[in-house]
Copies of this chain bind each other. A is one copy, B any other.
């Protein structure tokens, strides 16, 4: 029943009109990414997503993955779709040219991935994990390791995983028990059990490259003793092809609430051969290369499910006839009016629309920072991009997934009772989306990362890297004829943001718990203000087009209406988060554990 159509017009609006991706590509010498090529890539990706992947989304959920004797089978159609994904070059798009990649910018990869993942999130995880694995090998591997593995991972012949979590530890990786015994030939024997391993075993590719966190026998306690190992399912032979089977096996598949077509594996390593990547005891640093990549991707999950849910909800709201408009029949010739006439249905749709499009702007802006940090010729610009990336990544991960979940829940609500029935697809969006707030570091961990590690540890520097953009923009628009009032509102919030950080910093000098007590509400406050900035940016752009005259009046007027809705109906939540965090740590800490 549900159908996904890539919102190309919206995507182009953000890429071309709001952030001018093309100018960046030119400035950074990414001349392959010409406007024509970008358009063609988007067009092709939208076809692949809509025609090949979307039809497998619900069947994949129904069927799930199967395991027999340690071999995992993905749902019908997934293998063929993955083959097309590889054959059509989607895997290699942003990979390094020396390993068969096309060297296209990360920002374009993110846009393509939005389509793939909106159409079928479970499918998107297989290549998604591979990209993270390849990124870690590229950043930390030896030349030999890069030559060996990137040649296979880049085109997608092999896939990759991250093996971090164990039954007794997820967030607290210092507690891991997996052991790595050094061998005389320089390799290691890896023994231990890893759980929640996405795409740990499957039938899509001929080999799987596991990146495994383990400890050496003499390693000190805690996180500073973790090393990272490449542990392939099949050891590469002398020619770099799939060779001998390694002694690791998928013990079982997890039974999950959603993303059922993605194989979530318990992986047992039993004296498996592994190869150290990066330095001994520095494994966590290497893993962070993957995790930062994965966190923006996980944030996108909120947008992807939200967008798919919105498309279905709007179609349903225009089609479903139920009751009359309060102000009188809108379609007197029909037995009832379509429910899109009802203000409360519109409240739900507009909430969905404003989070989705705001989140898209946030994510695309962040992806542009990835380009800038990587390719800019100006060292200061690169450093500034890194600062903003560090600041925005936890916001992307947590705010986009919190709001994405709200969006999918509303999208289900629009359908009434049908929203609860599998055949209509909306409940799957909720179930699939739910994991995004949990994995890749729970949203609570993202909030601590944002407030503790990023904002406070940098003494506000990383916050200012972003708020100065906001400040400049507000100054430039405070006299705007129609949008000036919003620029002033945003300006106040922007100032309040910095002041709050000062206050939290003061309180946390007395009591370290204040940071954890403020973190989640601070993250949500930050997200609401960040989206306000991007919404106003979009509105200013839309107003320019309208003032200049355009054949797309509906499109731009909808942007203005959605921006107004966001400022007036959603942004007030920022103050509720502020009030909550100002309540301080005592409201959380005064109860003893027994009193719960």
How far apart are A424's CB and chain B's nearest CB, in angstroms?
10
Determine whether the beta carbon of A344 is less than 8 Å from that of B437.
no
Q: Would you call A27 an interface residue if the criterion is a C-beta within 8 Å of the partner chain's C-beta atoms?
A: no
Residue with the highest number of chain B CB atoms closer than 10 Å, among A416, A562, A596: A596
Determine whether the beta carbon of B344 is less than 8 Å from that of A430.
no
Q: Would you call A468 an interface residue if the criterion is a C-beta within 8 Å of the partner chain's C-beta atoms?
A: no
Determine whether the beta carbon of A595 is less than 8 Å from that of B561.
yes
Q: Would you call A480 an interface residue if the criterion is a C-beta within 8 Å of the partner chain's C-beta atoms?
A: no
Cα A322 to Cα B448 with chains together (Å): 15
**A516 surroundings in chain B (CB, below 8 A):** 326, 342-344
Q: Would you call A241 an interface residue if the criterion is a C-beta within 8 Å of the partner chain's C-beta atoms?
A: no
Q: Would you call A557 an interface residue if the criterion is a C-beta within 8 Å of the partner chain's C-beta atoms?
A: yes
Determine whether the beta carbon of B417 is less than 8 Å from that of A437.
no
Contact with B along A323-339 (1 / 0, CB 8 A): 10111000000011010
How far apart are A383's CB and chain B's nearest CB, in angstroms?
30
Cα A430 to Cα B588 with chains together (Å): 24
Q: Would you call A423 an interface residue if the criterion is a C-beta within 8 Å of the partner chain's C-beta atoms?
A: yes
Determine whether the beta carbon of A572 is less than 8 Å from that of B576.
yes
Which residue of the partner chain B has the closest CB to A254? Answer: B421
Residues A290-349 near B (CB distance < 8 A):
314, 317-318, 321-323, 325-327, 335-336, 338, 340-349
Q: Would you call A580 an interface residue if the criterion is a C-beta within 8 Å of the partner chain's C-beta atoms?
A: yes
How far apart are A181's CB and chain B's nearest CB, in angstroms?
22
How far apart are A307's CB and chain B's nearest CB, in angstroms?
13
Determine whether the beta carbon of A322 is less than 8 Å from that of B554.
no
Cα A17 to Cα B299 with chains together (Å): 47
Determine whether the beta carbon of A513 is less than 8 Å from that of B422.
no
Determine whether the beta carbon of B596 is less than 8 Å from that of A340.
yes
In the complex, identify which listed stretch (A101-109, A469-477, A563-571) lies at the interface while the others stay far away. Answer: A563-571
Determine whether the beta carbon of A558 is less than 8 Å from that of B438.
no
Cα A253 to Cα B564 with chains together (Å): 44
Q: With A572-B579, A583-B569 known to touch, is A345 a contact of B444 (CB < 8 Å)? A: yes
Seen from chain A, the residues whose Cβ lies within 8 Å of a Cβ on chain B are 165, 168-172, 174-175, 195-196, 254-258, 314, 317-318, 321-323, 325-327, 335-336, 338, 340-350, 353, 405, 409, 412-413, 416-417, 419-423, 427, 430-431, 434-435, 437-439, 442-444, 447-448, 511-513, 515-517, 519-520, 554-555, 557-558, 561-562, 564-565, 568-570, 572-573, 575-576, 579-580, 583, 585, 587-596
19 A/B residue pairs, CB under 8 Å, sorted by A: A170-B416, A175-B322, A255-B421, A256-B421, A256-B422, A257-B422, A257-B431, A318-B596, A340-B596, A343-B513, A343-B585, A344-B447, A348-B444, A349-B596, A420-B438, A561-B590, A568-B579, A569-B579, A575-B579
